[in-house]
Structure 1
Amino acid sequence: MSLVPFTKFVNDAAGLEKTLRGLQGMTQLAASFFAGYEMIEYLAMSEVIRKHFALGRRYFRFFKFIDCVVASADALQGDENGGPEGVLGALNAVRWQFLGLYILTEAFTILDAMGLRRSSWAPFIFVESMRFWFYSICCTIVLLSVDLYNIRRQIVTLQQRLAVHQASAANSGTCVQATGPTKTKELTITDKKDSPVLKYDEVFLKTKEGLRTAKQQQQLLLQRIVGSFCDLLTPGPVIGAIDVGPAVVASTSILSSVLAGREIWKKVNGR
């Protein structure tokens, strides 16, 4: 098995960040296990490792608030950049603004996270940064749900077109059956009346390919929605919006990292 795909993944900034997040979730899950059995020494070790993973992830997003400002400005332009417009465009801009505020406010507490100082206001700022992140994830879930609804309508429309086309082609006796993304083959039906060769035309093939692409997009949106709901459980307990234990937070963090990492893996490896 070649290590090239894995090397490409961990050499990508986003891929490495998700790897660190997954490791952070694993150490947090281990800490929850050790706490349950009162294994103080291993608990302390797990907490130290978890904090180092969390701190390492912060370095990757320290200046990401600049990207969020740019993305928010692009979202406000709406249809000019091919993005949503109107209410959805405004919501998309708000999402990026909340995410930028989260990263910016969190950056003010990095010296406390590094253990270089102890500020009285750092815990308050950290909680508020988590609140901004929570709001950003909520906006993301709404936008993804709208996209999922639209893609579902598109799938239904394409399925109806295929059904109508198949019915009309069967009546006319001319159609072409697709055997792959680009290949076709003739389907011959013989009976007592010597039926003609059926051929589906190019419109049918394009519609079928569009349906396949739409279903892939639907699967990707579902994956992102699940990942976003998992992400909610990270800032939710911090701000008091969701009442779950550290083990649940760690488990959902690992799941979210795997889902996002899978998408990044396909992107960097071109598959």
Structure 2
Amino acid sequence: MFAEVANYANDAAAVEKSLRLLQAFVQIAAGTTSSATDAKTWNMARGQFALARRYLRLFKWIDFSQASTATWTSSPPSPRRILATAKNMLLAIYFFMEMFCITNAMGITTSSFLTALQHHALQVWFLAISTSLVLTTYDYLSQNTESAILASNLVLDCCDILIPGSAVGWIAVDSVTVGIASSISSVIAGQQIWVRVQKEAKEKEMRKKEKSMRKVRFDKGTKVSEEEREGLSEKIGKEEASNGVVDGSVKALANAVGDGNGGVKKRSKKA
């Protein structure tokens, strides 16, 4: 269990959703408290959680830009390809615009231009979620995805759309409702990330085990080869030693025969 929690905590998206859930909780607390001092404290905590999330998604627009390109180039021509590409592209534009507003969020600047840019970025986010809702409806009608996944995505989008919609004034809801919707969507998204992270961890562990097994087999094969080489060398040494003895015996016999022939020749001369 601790390993699974560690896997989840080491994922940037999981950390961002966890902070989002905490932000939703303090937003609900700020909207329900009757004390102005407590409301100020909760709103301060909410701002800090929101700022921490901004750091984690500062360059998120790159991921969605790549996703939009991959969706457009890898999918066959269809309405779904258009919707999926439009969704990813709008999210890329939203995060790209939001990136420039980080100094206002940090309190370093108070630029009215960046405030307006943040407002327009939220409008783009609203359009992206709206496109996602249309895409989910299309998948449901076409039965391209499992019903459980479609239901989760539908609830997720319906909750998320309240956040930018209320911020830009297109949906009239109070902060408590937005906090509740944000907490629900954070739990759903966190569950999806949990499944993905644990799956990736298991696949990584399997690859690690396979690599270890290949290494063991390689080491065993190398050891066998070395033993075979040692046995072969020992066998060759014995054969060479045996050949040396035989060669020595042959040479001795040849010398003896030679000496005998020499003696015969000498006796022949005397005769």
The TM-score normalised by the length of structure 1 is 0.70
User: How large is the Cα RMSD of the aligned pairs?
Assistant: 1.6
Q: Using the alignment, how far apart are the partners of 1:115 and 1:249 within structure 2?
A: 24
> Are 1:247 and 2:176 matched, yes or no?
yes
The alpha-carbon deviation at position 84 of structure 1 amounts to 5.6
The answer as to whether partners of 1:105 and 1:125 remain within 8 angstroms in 2 is: yes
Q: Which amino acid aligns with 1:48?
A: M
**Larger % of helix: which?**
2
> Are 1:93 and 2:71 matched, yes or no?
no
The alpha-carbon deviation at position 269 of structure 1 amounts to 1.8
Secondary structure, counterpart of 2:170 in structure 1: coil
Residue number in structure 2 paired with 1:12: 11
Residue number in structure 2 paired with 1:165: none
Q: Which amino acid aligns with 1:110?
A: I
Residue number in structure 1 paired with 2:59: 63
Q: Name which of 221, 241, 252 aligns with 2:150.
A: 221
The TM-score normalised by the length of structure 2 is 0.70
Q: Using the alignment, how far apart are the partners of 1:256 and 1:237 within structure 2?
A: 16
The answer as to whether partners of 2:21 and 2:187 remain within 8 angstroms in 1 is: yes
Q: Using the alignment, how far apart are the partners of 1:20 and 1:267 within structure 2?
A: 18
Q: Which amino acid aligns with 2:77?
A: E
Q: Which amino acid aligns with 2:137?
A: S
Secondary structure, counterpart of 2:112 in structure 1: coil
Q: Which amino acid aligns with 2:134?
A: V
> Are 1:114 and 2:106 matched, yes or no?
yes
Q: Name which of 130, 142, 145 aligns with 2:137.
A: 145
The answer as to whether partners of 1:10 and 1:19 remain within 8 angstroms in 2 is: no
Q: Which runs of 5+ in 1 are unaligned?
A: 155-213
Q: Which runs of 5+ in 2 are unaligned?
A: 203-271
State the identity %: 32
The answer as to whether partners of 1:30 and 1:46 remain within 8 angstroms in 2 is: yes
The answer as to whether partners of 1:234 and 1:249 remain within 8 angstroms in 2 is: yes
After superposition, where does 1:148-163 map in structure 2 within 5 Å? 148-151=140-143
Q: Which amino acid aligns with 2:8?
A: F
Q: Name which of 48, 52, 70 aligns with 2:48.
A: 52
The answer as to whether partners of 2:119 and 2:168 remain within 8 angstroms in 1 is: yes
Secondary structure, counterpart of 2:160 in structure 1: helix
Q: Using the alignment, how far apart are the partners of 2:3 and 2:138 within structure 1?
A: 37
The answer as to whether partners of 1:24 and 1:50 remain within 8 angstroms in 2 is: yes
Q: Which amino acid aligns with 1:235?
A: P
| 4+ runs deviating over 3 angstroms | none
